[in-house]
Structure 1
Amino acid sequence: MPMYQQLEEQICSLIETGTLPPGTVLPAERQLAESLGVSRVTIQRAYAATRQRQLLTAQGRKGFVVRGREHQIHPGMDRLKGFTEEMRELGKIPSSRILEREIVQDRSISSIFGLPSTARLLKLTRVRYGDEVPMSREVAWYNLALAPALEAGDLSGSVYAFLAEHCGARPVSCDQTIEATTPTQQECELFAFDEPVPCLLIKRHTYAQGSLMIEYVEGLFRGDMYSYRLKLNG
């Protein structure tokens, strides 16, 4: 049996017997390779094979972590809430990194808002983190005619909170769709995937008071971390 397969079987055995419980952070590839006297490629292949068996998950700078139910979050969809509020309800510390922020005129996006093609929109692209683990990549557009303060405002935190506090345009309802998709190479790099993992693409039309559309967002959420929960009444 090749060395990487031997190591894979040993890791799987330790996980299945509980010796490596959920949440355990495995040693870095270089560190483990040096301690075992094998190549780093051997460690990479062993970790990748173990991950394919759904026993490990990649968590950014933390590296590989033993997978368990507590590492998959189950946000409810019973009411409208933003990412920041969602993470806090789940006991995680939310943060964001802005990749792109600009004022645009986009005919196709303006048509989604029902606005003229020359309407000014704020385009905001962010990576959203929970406990420093990249959870989603969001591209959002905002109607500046309804919320002009967004143009120069501090959007490092919750945009929904900013809308409510500085624009008098609290989001009150939304239409949302969820579909499965495969991340691009760039998105794999953002999520620290060594190979594409199925993700959830969530498209949201958000409305303020008076049924005025204030936001359109396309969010890519990692499928190995998210499982949405619905409560239906008959």
Structure 2
Amino acid sequence: MIDDPSLHTLLRLRDDTAMPIYRQLDIQIGALIERGALQPGATLPAERRLAEDLNISRTTVRHAYDALRRRKLVSAHGRLGFIVETPPRIQPGMERLKGFTEEMRELNRTPSSRILEQQVVTDRSIASLFGKPSTATFLRLVRIRFGDDVPLSREVAWYDLAAAPGLDQRDLTGSVYEVLRECGAALTSCEQTIEAATPDAEECRVFGFEQPVPCLLIKRQSRTKDGRMVEYVEGLFRGDAYAYRLTLAV
């Protein structure tokens, strides 16, 4: 656990990125809370003091604290300032196939994505996984998935373009599953595995981790009603904020 006067020494604000300073503060302080470096009951530095320590405006700090409050990571207590709360964990159910967008909506979170890569490729190993010839073409889609503007996962997905022609020309910042339904390739079943994984340097940067935090690596093969495999995806979900819930019956 850290003492709140030293909080500013753990924050690394960058001026070589388009991300606003308040969002950098929100993400970095949130990561400290979620991994336990700032524990429930700790008091965040006063807006004025943190602003002076970081040489930024008090308004910027206020925006960051307000964002943390909306995420239920801190609560306002009048003159006591902002108190760290026990971080809520996302607990989506696994009783049926659903995409990230639908999952976030069910949890009353606002989903969004940032596409890092969207291109048509040939890949011998991926083609073999799909049971296709090595010359088959796939859409390779790399995205950062957000819930309430918080980066929750980095996913790499491949889609069979023979099953969903024109998918590579569509806007895929939202739900790919909805677009697949429009293309006549609705997904109805999947095989999914979940395993522990350690994020690499790039993934730590995406999640705002100063040090690697255990994550969940989810691999999924999704199929249409007739059994045709359309999607293979590997998604790394931050383990400090994500937990799957299973409902089992005898």
TM-score (norm 1): 0.76
2:109 is matched with 92
Paired residue secondary structure (2:109): coil
How far off its partner does 1:34 sit? 3.0
1:30–1:209 distance in 2 versus 1, CA, 3 Å: farther
1:44 is matched with none
2:132 is matched with 115
- C-alpha separation in 1, matches of 2:201 and 2:48: 24
Is it true that 1:168 corresponds to 2:184 in the alignment?
yes
Q: Which runs of 4+ in 1 moved over 3 A?
A: 4-8, 26-31, 64-67
1:137 is matched with 154
2:220 is matched with 204
Aligned ranges 1:1-234 → 2 under 5 Å: 7=5, 16=40, 18=41, 26=44, 31-32=49-50, 34=52, 66-69=84-87, 71-165=88-182, 167-234=183-250
Corresponding residue pairs, total: 197
- C-alpha separation in 1, matches of 2:52 and 2:236: 37
Aligned-residue Cα RMSD (Å) equals: 2.9
The residue type paired with residue 195 of structure 2 is E
Unpaired runs of 5+ residues, structure 2, are: 7-32, 56-67, 75-83
How far off its partner does 1:68 sit? 2.0
Identity score, percent: 60
1:29–1:221 distance in 2 versus 1, CA, 3 Å: farther
TM-score (norm 2): 0.71
How far off its partner does 1:132 sit? 0.2
- C-alpha separation in 2, matches of 1:189 and 1:29: 26
Unpaired runs of 5+ residues, structure 1, are: 21-25, 41-58
